Chains A and B, each alone.
Chain A
Amino acid sequence: MVMENNLSNEKRRLNIPWLFEMAWRDSRKNRSRLLLFVSSIVFGIAALVAIYTFGVNLKKDIDNQAATLIGADLSVNTGKLPDAATQKMLDSLGDRHSQERMFASMVLFPRTQGTRLAQVRALEGDYPYYGNFETIPANAGLNFRENKAALVDQTLMLQYNVKVGDSVKVGKVTFVIEGVLTKAPGQTNIASGIAPIVYIPLKYLDETGLMQKGSRINYSYYFKYDHPVDIEKLTKKLDPRFEKAGLNYDTVETRKENTGRAFGDLTNFLSLVGFIALLLGCVGVASAIHIYIREKIASIAIMRCLGVKAYEAFLIYLIQIVGIGFIGAIAGSALGTFVQHILPIIFRDFLPISVTTDISWGAIGQGVILGVIISVLFGLLPLIAIRNISPLNTLRMSYENINLLRDPFRWMVYAIILLFIATFTHLQIGNWLGSLFFTIGIVVAFLILTIIARLLMFIVRFIIKATWSYPLRQGFANLYRPNNQTIILIVSIGLSTSFICTLFFIQSLLIKQVTIAASTNQANMILFDIQTSQEKPLANFTQKQHLPLLQQVPVVTVRIEKVNGKTAAQTKKDTSMRMRERLFGNEFRVTYRDTLSPTEKVMQGDWIGNTPASGEIPVSMEERFAQRNKLKVGDKLTFNVQGIPINTRIASTRQVNWNKMQTNFLFVFPKGVLEDAPQFHVLMTHVPSKKVSASYQQSVVRQFPNVSIIDLGFVLSVLEDLMDKLGSIIKFMAMFSIVTAIVVLVASVRISKYQRVQESVLLRTMGASRRQILAITTIEYFFLGALSAATGILIAVVGTWLLARYNFDIAFNIDLMPAVALFLGITGLTILIGLLNSRGVLNKPPLEILRGE
């Protein structure tokens, strides 16, 4: 007992420098392997650092260039013509001001006879006050205001082969094209591709004849202060008046915030994509360290025998992991800093400003810290097993597996990893529910792949037949033998395959949805902004062109004044009605008819098609919209129809199939109420070919210049372009996951080479031919690659089905060809890497390899 007390007194102090020295010494012969392990996290860190740096530069550039995004100190816009009082208030603002009317209209290029729906902006004043219109020639942005001239978006000019000096017809007026608009303030390439802009002077707007009742016009006012004014204070003061008049406003600060937030969301989403690559890499690291520690059992046992305590042994290897994590994180950060130079090019079409590519030390710091934390966290899983390595292994190597699942530390590490993933995700997306779903999604994907891998290992044991050839038996057996790579490869390859495959599926699914609509007898051309007086002549004209009248619908613009007798202000006070707030701000386009359309089904209440002689007007509301706004059958709504209040009650809710190509409405009025309200009409038809489409559009624009046309064939090409551009960004980020999976694959195969070299050499010594060893390797990696890819594709199919069914609400009809190509590619690549790594064993004499190892 006395001696034991002495022992406690002699407690050895933790000798940190010695632990570092031992970690360094112990790693001597394994450094290249350790670096190979850590290469798995390099690409994940690179993706994150690139995105972070891009985000930092973007934020800084938005801050620096925010004034040019809005072009003025204050911009005010509204969907209705301001009344006299509002106009008076507007006139009192700013030292200088400009105004703009924006609406969608067909434009015609007389020389080439091309027609297209464009975003027409009629401008008056010196806007923009900050930045300028980027035009060719450079002064066209100023000159067009003085003449009967227009600025036409670059995409439109190229598309219709129009040159400066040609003319463009907007409504009834023909303008000379003064210049090519390459960039308007705050405009992105992608937006101008979808809705190309044509600027005309405001003074000619009336002449165009496009300003008719019911036309959808946006009124914008731009203000510039030449003397110092606190705009934020001013707008805060004016806010109630703006709100009352239905005016929205934007200042440099709000634009800065909004743009920053929008791109913040995007970079956060992309950093999650990068994070998946990092997680994949970490699984690779954990697996590699697991094998590394197994190989170190003898050394650890010797150390324990000589008096090294369990936690000291643990710390020696933890130091190694921190070291390699640090090196990997530095390498990843360096690569990320290089990659961020490419990001502004990839995002070019989506950015409203030019983005710089300065080095962000903050982003690099984040990357390094994240790299170290995550490699330690994932390294801990195999490292904690060190605590259980007995010194007895020096006398007799024991393969007795301690039940690690009972180790509370192991569960603690799992919990910390999950907490870390959820917290990291929360930091990116800012909400816990989303983070929880992301974490659960990752865990489920990992679990599915792990279960499949284990299932494979279980099944393979039973299917191997003694009658099979030796290479076949051996190749199969390698899938489940000790130190196999089955789980790690199936998880890493499977996850990245499912990732890229889901992208392919969703992209093709969305495009196919539009293609189907464009190719069948469904409507593929929509004509809108048709005045009541034009309704019949246009219908007759369409029929004369032998085109069907698939649908003719009147559309009335309304606002909601009261919900169950409560105004917007009263609703705002009631926290239980927060959901309804948005009901008041927006304009709704409603229709009236006495029958349900084929895409509608009454879910609750009764459909009433005609207005009753007395009482409230029965309206029908779209089911999901009603649910979102906590409205039900029987609730009362007061609509403002161009100034006239109309009291209604919700008589029914309808389920609407929004996927069908036809006009659908949130609110449907019965016949007998809105017939005399200002309205426009929509006509839908089906054009059989591009040629018919072009000639029909030209004729409509000539005879009915205010009517706008959406050609679904054209929408399809725009959508394909958009999907391509969006897809390329996501694919670029997904590439990091794929590269990581390949690195994990290479690293795993290299590790398995260390594991298998003794055996291969033994086989070679016993006379196995080069062909036999190649056959064994090919079979093993064929199954690993094929099964990983197939599992990944299967997960992608299920994921796409879920997304199609519950998110996009579209038919699940995928194209399997890209999946087949992906399957073959990944399987081939796995075999290739497996074979390349076996070369060393095959090309050198067995003794040389044994000595080398």
Chain B
Amino acid sequence: MESILNISDLGKTYQSAGKILTVLDHISFAVETGSTNAIVGPSGSGKTTLLGLCAGLDRPTTGAVELNGIDLSILSEDKRAHVRNLYVGFIFQNFQLLPTLTALENIMVPLELRGETNIRTRAVDLLDKVGLADRGHHYPAQLSGGEQQRVSLARAFSNRPKILFADEPTGNLDAETAEKVIKLIFDLNKEAGTTLVLVTHDLDLAGKTQRILRIKGGKLVSDNKTNV
């Protein structure tokens, strides 16, 4: 099967107090189009950094990231931004909605950026899909955590991404709400045929994906297929 994400020999180091800190060390893997994947590992293992590099939010120190056939490691930040807008969707632990925009406007932003028309209808549809049809004019501060994450989910799917990156999507939610959000993520993912890469240390959640990549001390220590 064709891969949408190719990571080869990826490394990331930072300079801290005059010392070089290696966060990611020679990581290579490929993600198949339409698959669901989880990156797991203990706190500080480098999994969020890996997600950031995969999504083109940062540049690697060594190695390459190829997303949908585009080598992100050689692109400028503005070009990477364009790639993100075209092919990538995000879900964050802290929801990351724009506080001054209503729920509906938050969903519309990626589509507005692409210059699409009739975006309101699509945004309303998505809000309906996440069960918030009547909350479109509410600001993030007026929504509960679960509601905010559902808006975030609707926004992530609004630009019909080829790949969805989720960073601890249930980290700030109670168990019941988390369960609902997870179901939504997988349902929408399946419906849209999107590739999913999520970072979590919740092994139950990871177990719902087809593949689990385990990171420790900045190194890829295991790469297992699940029974899903």
A binding-site residues for B, Cβ under 8 Å? 2-4, 7, 10-13, 15, 18, 21-22, 25-30, 298-299, 301-311, 390-392, 394-396
Contacts and interface: CB of A to CB of B under 8 A. Distances in A.
Contact of B82 (A7, A27, A298): A7
Nearest to B112: A18
B88 to A, nearest CB: 8
Contact of B96 (A7, A298, A308, A309): A298
Interface stretch (B65-73, B123-131, B205-213): B65-73
B18 interface: no
9 contacts: A7-B82, A11-B82, A303-B109, A305-B57, A307-B85, A390-B77, A392-B57, A394-B57, A394-B90
Main secondary structure of the interface of A (DSSP, over half): helix
A308 B114 CA distance: 10
A578 to B, nearest CB: 59
Contacts of B51: 395
B70 A304 contact: no
Interface stretch (B99-107, B181-189, B220-228): B99-107
Nearest to B168: A395
Contact of A3 (B70, B90, B98): B70
B5 interface: no
B68, B77, B155 interface centre (most CB from chain A within 10 Å): B77
Contacts of B75: 4
A395 B167 contact: yes
Given A15-B115, A390-B58, A306 B109 contact: yes
Given A305-B84, A307-B86, 8 more contacts: A13-B115, A18-B113, A309-B78, A390-B77, A391-B81, A394-B57, A394-B92, A395-B57
Contacts of B155: 306
Nearest to B95: A302
B100 A4 contact: no
B100 A306 contact: no
Given A7-B70, A305-B57, A306-B84, A394 B96 contact: yes
Contact of A7 (B83, B99, B105): B83
Contact of A311 (B78, B82, B84, B98): B78
Contacts of B58: 390, 392
B218 interface: no
Contacts of B52: 392, 395
A396 to B, nearest CB: 6
Contacts of A299: 98-100
Contacts of B97: 302
A838 B161 CA distance: 48
A3 B68 contact: yes
A722 B69 CA distance: 82
Contacts of A305: 57, 84, 90, 96
B110 interface: yes
Contacts of B112: 15, 18, 21
Contacts of A25: 98, 100-101, 105
A121 B109 CA distance: 82
A29 B99 contact: yes
A13 B82 CA distance: 11
A769 B70 CA distance: 59
A12 B100 contact: no
B149 interface: no
Contacts of A29: 99-100
B61 to A, nearest CB: 14
Contacts of A15: 112-113, 115
Given A3-B68, A7-B79, A308 B113 contact: yes
Interface of B: 48, 51-52, 57-58, 68-71, 75, 77-79, 81-86, 90, 92, 96-101, 105, 109-110, 112-115, 155, 167
Given A4-B71, A395-B48, A306 B113 contact: yes
A690 B11 CA distance: 94
B56 to A, nearest CB: 9
Contacts of B85: 12, 306-307
Given A25-B100, A25-B101, A395-B52, A12 B69 contact: no
A310 B113 contact: no
A447 to B, nearest CB: 32
A305 B84 CA distance: 7
Nearest to A396: B48
Contacts of B90: 305-306, 394
A429 B209 CA distance: 74
Contacts of B115: 12-13, 15
Contacts of B70: 3-4, 7
B55 to A, nearest CB: 8
A4 B83 CA distance: 10
Nearest to B53: A392
A772 B217 CA distance: 47
Given A10-B82, A395-B51, A26 B100 contact: yes
The 6 closest A-B pairs by CB, nearest first: A307-B85, A3-B69, A309-B78, A28-B100, A3-B70, A391-B57
A13 B113 CA distance: 10
Contacts of B77: 304, 310, 390
A301 to B, nearest CB: 8
A307 B99 contact: no
A307 B68 contact: no
Given A4-B70, A302-B97, A12 B113 contact: yes
A17 to B, nearest CB: 10
B98 A302 contact: yes
B86 A395 contact: no
A25 B108 CA distance: 13
A396 B12 CA distance: 15
A100 B196 CA distance: 101
Nearest to B90: A305
A307 B100 contact: no
A3 B69 CA distance: 6
Nearest to B85: A307
Contact of A27 (B48, B78, B100, B167): B100
A4 B86 CA distance: 13
A12 B96 contact: no
A307 B81 contact: yes
Contacts of A4: 70-71, 75
B86 A308 contact: no
A7 B97 CA distance: 27
A328 B110 CA distance: 33
A309 B83 CA distance: 11
Contacts of A310: 77-78, 81
B10 to A, nearest CB: 16
A301, A303, A308, A395 interface centre (most CB from chain B within 10 Å): A395
B116 to A, nearest CB: 11
Nearest to A26: B100
Contacts of B114: 12, 307
B113 A302 contact: no
B81 A309 contact: yes
A403 to B, nearest CB: 13
A10 B86 CA distance: 10
Contacts of A3: 68-70
B16 to A, nearest CB: 10
Contacts of A27: 100
A30 B99 CA distance: 11
Contacts of B83: 7
Contact of A307 (B69, B82, B92, B167): B82
A22 B105 CA distance: 10
A719 to B, nearest CB: 60
A21 to B, nearest CB: 8
A70 to B, nearest CB: 64
B67 to A, nearest CB: 9
A307 B75 CA distance: 14
Contacts of A390: 57-58, 77
Contacts of B81: 304, 307-310, 391
A822 to B, nearest CB: 42
A3 B98 CA distance: 31
A302 B68 contact: no
B92 A395 contact: yes
